Amino acid sequence: MAKFANVDDYLAALPEGLREVATALRPIVNAALPSAIEAMYHGSPTWSAGEAVGKNLVCLVKAYSSYVTFALWKGQLVDDESGRLEASAREMAHVKLRSVEDIDADLFTGWLKQARDLEAPAGAR
């Protein structure tokens, strides 16, 4: 995928089904992380709890050919009673989203708040 200047451009370039999923996920992330920095970082939309892009990363959204990955940087440390989070590299965990129906706003909000608290300085929560 090409380099994009911002998250809007990234989402606009996605195929319709993937764009629908990523676009539905974005306001959930923004609502759960109101003080986070939303930006493109290493080619994917990311949300950072730090003072700059790429600092204290909380989550990312990345589209593949048939699904969108929603990943938490320290997701393996997040309490996930649903069992939906899959372990990734290092401390990351992710969930693959193939349709809007795969998004559970309440569940994802809980994950995001836990992940934010693992990353954010106390004053930024």
| Residue 12 belongs to domain spanning | 7-119
Residue 30 lies in a domain: yes
CATH number at residue 12: 3.90.1150.200
Instruction: Dump pLDDT digits (tens) for 72-110.
Output: 999 999 999 999 999 998 999 999 999 999 999 999 999
Give the model confidence (pLDDT) of 26-85 as tens digits.
Answer: 999 999 999 999 999 999 999 999 788 888 899 999 999 999 999 999 999 999 999 999
Buried b (16+ CB within 10 A) or exposed e, 86-112: eeeeeebbbbebeeeebbeeebbebbb
Residue 95 included in any domain: yes
Total domain count, the chain: 1
Please give the structure tokens belonging to residue 118. Answer: 């693992």
pLDDT band at 123 (very low <50, low <70, confident <90, very high): very low
| Contact between residue 78 and residue 85 where contact means Cβ atoms under 8 Å apart | yes
Predicted TM-score of the model (pTM): 0.91
Judge whether 125 lies within some domain.
no
In a domain, 1, yes or no: no
Q: Which residues contact 15 (CB under 8 A, 6 or more apart)?
A: none
